[in-house]
Chain A
Amino acid sequence: MTVRSRAPFYVFVFLLIAAGISIATWRHIELGVPWMTGEQRPVWMIEARVDFEGQDEAAQVSLHIPQQPPGFNILTEQAASPGYGFTIMETSASRRAEWTKREVSGPQTLYFKAQFVPEDASPDSARTRKPRPIPTFWEEPQATAVNELLREATERSSSPESLTRELIRLLQPDSRTQNTTLLVSDDNYLQLLERMLNHAGIPARTADALRLEDARRRQQLLPFVQIHNGDRWLTFDPRTAEQGVPENLLLWRQGSESLLDVVGGGNSQVSFSMLRQTVPALQLATLEANQNGLGVLGFYQLPIEEQSMFRMLLLLPLGALIVAFMRIIIGVRTSGTFMPVLIAVAFVQTTLVPGLVAFLSVVAIGLVLRGYLSSLNLLLVSRISALIILVIFITAGLSIVGYQMGFNTGMTVTFFPMVIIAWTIERMSILWEEEGAREVLVQGSGSLFVAICAYLVMSTSLAGHLTFNFPELHLVVLGLILLMGQYTGYKLSELRRFTPMKVYD
C-alpha cells in the first residue's frame, strides 16, 4: 500500500457529514419533520354546517370551499352527510363541495370538515394577471354622487390601495356627507363599494373570511373586499379600511361568486364552528410529504410492514458506531466483532432485563451441552450444526417453561439470532479450554457491555426517531466511522496496559 495524502480523505468525510446534516436540516425546514419526538403543532379544525329545508324533491347543495387560503395549508378534508352523494368539484376559479340526493324532505344538516395548518410563509396571495374592471352603470342622481365621492377620494390618494382606503373611510357612517347618505343603505354597502371601485377603474371583488378563535360555534363569515393592484389581489376590511390578512383570518371564499347554492331546498344557511387542535408535528410532516411529492425521499410511502422493518435496520448503523467506538477508542475486548450489535438488536425487541436473562441462560445451558459435544469428537461443521439445533431446543424449552410459569417474556427468546448464539457458544467454549475461564469472562462481559451500551442508545426514542425520519443522518454516522478508522492514537485500555512503562520514563 502506498502512502497517500490524507487531505482528499478528510475532505470526503467532511462532505459526507456536511451532506448528511444539511439534507436533514433541509428536511426539517422544508417538510417540517421535527428534530425531537413528541413535538406538537397547532391545527385549526373548521366545520362548516349547512342547514336547509327539503322540499320533497331532488336536492343539490354546493358549498364553496377554500382552495389555497393565504397563510394556511389544507391538511385533511372530509364530509359528513348520511345518505348524500358527495364530491369535490374543482374548476380553475373555484372549489366547491357538492352534496346530492334524490329525494329530500324536512330539515337537513350537512357537515364539511377541514383541518388547516398555519404556514409561516407570507400570507400574500399569489400573483395573478390583472383582470378588467367590471363596467358599471349608474342612474341619476346616484351617478353624480358616485362621481363626486370618487373625485374626493382620488384627490386624497395616490394609488389604487390608498384610493380604496380613502373611499372606505368616506363611506363610513361618521364621515357621511349628503352624497354618501344618498348612496349607502344598510344592506348594499359592500356591493356599493365593489361597484364604485370598479367604476374607478380598479378591479374589485368581495370575499368572505372566518375569524379564527378557539372553540367558537355558529360563526358567520365576515365580508371583505379585495382589489387587484396589477400584481395580486389585496384584501381590505370594509369597516376599518385595514389592509392585509391578519394571522387569525382564514379567507374561506375569494374569487367565486356564491358561497352556498341550494337547488331543491329552501331556507338554507351556513355556519361555522372551529377548534384549535394540536397534532404531532411528525404526523403533520408525513401527511404533507405525501401530498407534495417530496415524500419520495423518505420512508413514509412504503407499506407499514416494510416501514417497521426499516425502523429496525436503520438502527444497526448506530450499533456499528458504538462497536467501532468501543473497540477502537476504548479498547473493550468482545467475542466476535459484531455479535454485540446483533444481541443489542435482540434486546431492543425483548427489552433489557428479560433479554439479558434469556441470553445468559441460553449461553450457559449451551456451554454445558457443548461440553458433552466436545467429548464426542465431532467434526467442526457437524458440531456447530448440532449446536444450532441444541440452541433452538433450548430457546423453545425456555419459551415453553416461561409461558407455563406465566412469564410472557419467555417467548421473546426467539428474537435472538440462533446461528450467532451457536457460534458464540462454540467460541466461548474453545476460549475456555485454551485460555481459561478468566478470558471467557473478560470477553463475555466485554461483549455484553458493548451490547448493553448499543441497546441503551438504540432503544432511546430519539435515536429511533432520528434514524427513521432523517435517514441521511447515517451519512454522518458513516463519516464518523471512517474517521475512527483513521484513529492511530492510544486506546483507553492501552493507557492501563502500558502502565508499567512508567518506570522507564
Chain B
Amino acid sequence: MDWISPRKLKKLGMLNMNRRNVGYIGRYNERSSFPLVDNKLKTKLAVSEYGVKTPKLLQVVRQQHEISHFREMSEDLDGFAIKPAKGSGGKGITVITGRDEDNFVKASGARISVAMLERHLTNILAGLYSLAGTPDVAIVESLVQSSPALAKYSFQGVPDIRIIIFQGYPVMAMLRLATKASDGKANLHQGAVGVGLNISTGQSLNAVQFNRPITLHPDTGLALQNINIEAWEDMLEMASRCYEATGLGYMGVDLVVDAHEGPLLLELNARPGLAIQMANGEGLLPRLTNIEALKRPHFSPRERVQYAMEAFGKH
C-alpha cells in the first residue's frame, strides 16, 4: 500500500472531500440554487439569459403518455442525446449517433430499438437516475458534433472541458476524454482520462486515468502533452458568466466544443469532484484562498477571467 502523508498534501494545497463540503459547497452554495443546477432543463433556461449557449432542445418528455410523441419526433432525426433532467455524473445519458434501418445506433456502435429507448425514457421518468429517486423528466437534445481537433483524442464520446468556477473566477480546468473503460463517458471515476489545462493558455499539463499519471491516451494512443484548446479565453468567460446565472459560489462548469456552434454548456455541477487536482498536478486550496483574500472582487466576467489567467497561469 502506498500512502502520502497529510503534511505533504497540505503543502501541495490539496482540497479534500470534508473541506470541500464544509468550507466551500456549504459556505458558498445557497441551498436554494441547487435545483437550478441539479435540473438540466432549468439550467438551460437560466443560463440562456446570460448568453451561454447550450445544445438545442428537441423535446421534453414529462409524462408517460408523452413517450409516444418521442417516436414521431425521432423519425427524421439522425443524432440526438436523451438525458434525465436531474441525472448526475452522466447517469442515464444515451447518445444516438445515427440510424440503422429501424434501429438507432448508439455512440458505442451498439444497435438499439425504439422500444428499448422508450423503456429508457420510462425509467428516466420514474426517477431511476435522479439524485433522490424522485420523478424526473427526460430531455432530448440535438447531438453535439465535437470539433475534430479535440474529438480525435477521445475514444467515442465527446470530450468535454470541466472548469471550476469559484465566486465567478475560473480557478482550475481540465479536459476529459472518454475511453473504452469509461464506456464513452467523460467521467473520471468511470475511467475517463483527465487532462489538466493551463488556465492562462488552454494548453494541456498532465494527464491521469484512474488517478494514475499517463502520457498517452490508452485507446487512441495519441500523446496528451500538446493539446491546445482554441478560443480559450471565450470559454473561460462563458463559464464565468454561469456564476451570474446561478449565484453558485463554487461549481463545476462542463463545456463542449461543437464543430459548428462553438463552445456549448453541457451541464453545471454544484458538487464538482476533486480529481481535477490530480489532472493538474496541483492543489486547489492556494487558488481558492487567493480569491477569498481579494479585497475588491471584479464585477465583469471578462475582468475576472483576465485576473485568473494572470494569477493562476503556469508559464
Contacts and interface: CB of A to CB of B under 8 A. Distances in A.
Interface of A: 1, 3, 328, 331, 377, 379-381, 430, 434-435, 485-491, 494-505
A490 B8 CA distance: 11
Contacts of A434: 91
Contacts of B23: 488
A488 B212 contact: no
A435 B128 CA distance: 15
A27 B287 CA distance: 53
Contacts of A377: 119, 122
Interface string B140-179: 0000000000000000000000000000000000000000
A487 B18 CA distance: 7
Q: Which of A328, A434, A491, A504 has the most CB of B within 10 A?
A: A504
Given A380-B126, A380-B133, A500-B212, A489 B16 contact: yes
Interface of B: 1-6, 8-9, 11-12, 14, 16-19, 22-23, 26-28, 30, 91, 119, 122-123, 126-128, 133, 190, 208, 211-213, 277-278, 281-283
21 contacts: A377-B119, A377-B122, A379-B122, A379-B126, A380-B126, A380-B133, A434-B91, A486-B22, A488-B16, A488-B19, A488-B23, A489-B18, A490-B18, A495-B6, A498-B9, A498-B14, A498-B277, A501-B9, A501-B12, A504-B281, A505-B12
Nearest to B11: A505
A499 B4 contact: yes
Contacts of A490: 6, 9, 14, 16, 18
Q: Which of B4, B190, B277 has the most CB of A within 10 A?
A: B4
A499 B126 contact: no
B129 to A, nearest CB: 9
A313 to B, nearest CB: 27
B3 A495 contact: yes
Contact of A503 (B119, B213, B277): B213
A494 B5 CA distance: 10
A505 B12 CA distance: 7
Contacts of B18: 328, 487-491
A334 to B, nearest CB: 14
Given A381-B126, A496-B3, A502 B8 contact: yes
Contacts of A381: 126
A435 B14 CA distance: 27
Contact of A3 (B2, B27, B212, B282): B27
Contact of B4 (A328, A491, A502): A502
Contacts of A1: 26-28, 30
Contacts of B127: 380
Contacts of B282: 504
A188 B17 CA distance: 90
A430 B133 CA distance: 12
Contacts of A496: 1-4
Contact of B16 (A430, A485, A491): A491
Contacts of B30: 1
B4 A498 contact: yes
Contacts of A494: 9, 16-17
A500 B144 CA distance: 34
Contacts of B278: 498, 500-501
A339 to B, nearest CB: 14
Nearest to A487: B18
Contacts of B14: 490, 498, 501
Contacts of A498: 4, 9, 14, 277-278
Given A377-B119, A377-B122, A490-B9, A500 B208 contact: yes
B3 A500 contact: no
- Which 7 pairs across A and B sit closest by C-beta, in order of nearness? A380-B126, A488-B19, A504-B281, A499-B2, A377-B119, A490-B16, A499-B4
Contact of B17 (A379, A491, A502): A491
Nearest to A382: B126
A502 B7 CA distance: 11
B4 A495 contact: yes
Nearest to A505: B8
B282 to A, nearest CB: 7
Nearest to A375: B119
Nearest to B187: A435
Nearest to A434: B91
A430 B9 contact: no
Nearest to B5: A495
Contacts of A485: 22
B303 to A, nearest CB: 25
A497 B211 contact: yes
A16 B143 CA distance: 57
Contacts of B133: 380
Contacts of B4: 495-496, 498-499, 501-502
A430 B123 CA distance: 12
Nearest to B3: A495
A496 B9 CA distance: 11
A232 B208 CA distance: 87
Given A381-B126, A490-B6, A505-B8, A500 B213 contact: yes
Contacts of B17: 331, 491, 494
A430 B28 CA distance: 32
Contacts of A488: 16, 18-19, 22-23
A295 B155 CA distance: 71
B211 A435 contact: no
A431 B278 CA distance: 25
Contact of A495 (B9, B27, B211, B277): B9
B254 to A, nearest CB: 19
Nearest to B130: A380
Given A1-B27, A434-B91, A494-B17, 17 more contacts: A1-B26, A331-B17, A377-B119, A380-B128, A380-B133, A485-B22, A488-B18, A491-B18, A495-B5, A496-B2, A498-B14, A499-B3, A501-B8, A503-B213, A504-B281, A505-B11, A505-B12
Nearest to A486: B22
Contacts of B283: 501
A494 B282 CA distance: 15
